[in-house]
Amino acid sequence: MATLGILYSRPGQEENYFTELGKKSKDYDIKVVRFMPENVEPHSQTIFGEEFDRRTQSWEKKQFPPPDYIYDRCFYSSRQKLLHMKPSINWLKECTTFIGNGFRNKMEVYMAVSADEKLASFVPHTTFVESIETIFNKLTNKTAILLKPNQGSQGTGICKIVKKSHTFTVSYQKTGRVIHRNFHSKAQLKSWLDKYILTVPYLMQPYLRLNTPENQPFDLRIVMQKKACDEWAVQGKGLRISTPGNLVSNLHSGGSVFNYKEWVWKHPYKDQIESSINIIEQELPGLLDKKLGPLFEIGIDIGIEPEGRVWLLEVNSKPGHQVLLSTNRKTSTILYDAPLQYCALLEDKRKERQSNEA
């Protein structure tokens, strides 16, 4: 019996999701365990974690060797935490199979997508912030810019800068709230950016006005998962709409979820929007799987302008599933089955290779 290990970050994380995977595992003859990276001991080749007990339908503390396959749902709160856990992760990658890789940063995704002739027109022009001067050179009285950390998730650290005459207005997204500051000189802005923003690598993009008529930021989240080696499926879509003044629409920053089909059906540019999204769904997973994979699932964040222009804002290799579960409860069965189905597929291929080599 193959073992699927769920790698996670903190106690209580995605408790219902992991438990449902455990319950479904009997349908695939797969044992499910879960553990955090700090409980991996490479020297003794031992992991301390929990195994799902099908009899009691609960998690039981266990000590076990590396599982055959790992489903990585680990999110690191800081670069320091990532570096601290990296030796354990590297050891796991040497002795087992991750069913999907994580992206290293946003720029590697941008470089892959912008080099593709079918997808390049959907991504905003993106550059590294190499110095404060690169920011000032892009700022005009007509153009706002957006700064986002090259690593990170949930919108934290995103910064919008607007220039009006000699005043610079900054909106900075922290967890669940936005901080607004005005600076009356380049020197003041430079001092603040150096101290609070540019302590880590940042990317710069034009600021896109992707708001509702009520000035609420919104985007479309699409979750796609791999069903076979070269076959991807859209598991669900959901609109995320936040409160006025926010820079991002994700749920961690106060966003709410709405039905995408109902929204797009009423849109005057429905056909244009659907055509663009269809291209992204068809081309993007295979491209990233080839260049940055192997991958198992991706979350695609789409921005839509009032006139129907579609933008590919970000791609996440460890997407949350709350958007899908909020818009369609039937999706839950698909989500719980997908990792186990793919793990079973990999196990069948492994056995086939062993049989051919015998």
In terms of domains, do 115 and 260 share one? Answer: yes
Q: Residue 165: what pLDDT?
A: 86
Identify whether 351 is part of a domain. Answer: no
Average pLDDT over residues 295-320: 96
In terms of domains, do 196 and 315 share one? Answer: no
Structural domain count of the chain? 3
Spatial separation of the C-alpha atoms in residues 257 and 249, rounded to whole Å: 9
Three-state DSSP at 13 gives: coil
pLDDT (tens digit per residue) in 220-279: 999 999 987 779 999 989 999 988 878 887 666 567 888 999 999 999 999 999 999 999
Please name the residue that has the structure tokens 């796991």.
92
Mark which of 172, 206, 240 sits at the end of a domain: 206
Q: Which residues contact 216 (CB under 8 A, 6 or more apart)?
A: 241, 242, 243, 244, 246, 249
In terms of domains, do 166 and 260 share one? Answer: no
In terms of domains, do 319 and 244 share one? Answer: yes
Q: Residue 57: what pLDDT?
A: 97
Q: Mean pLDDT score of the chain, rounded to an integer?
A: 91
pLDDT at 358 over 70: no
Spatial separation of the C-alpha atoms in residues 13 and 339, rounded to whole Å: 17
Question: pLDDT > 70: what percent of the chain?
Answer: 97
- Regarding predicted confidence, which is higher, 34 or 213? 34
Average pLDDT over residues 154-176: 88
Per-residue pLDDT band at 144 (split at 50, 70, 90): very high
Answer whether 250's CB lies under 8 Å from 313's CB: no
**Confidence (pTM):** 0.93
Nearest-5° Cα angle at 223, 253 to 101? 95
Identify whether 280 is part of a domain. Answer: yes
pLDDT at 327 over 80: no
Per-residue pLDDT band at 174 (split at 50, 70, 90): confident
Q: Residue length, the chain?
A: 358
Greatest alpha-carbon pair distance for the chain in Å reads 75
Q: Domain range for residue 69?
A: 2-98
Picking from 281, 305, 297, 291, the residue whose alpha carbon sits closest to that of residue 118 is: 281
Q: Residue 251: what pLDDT?
A: 64
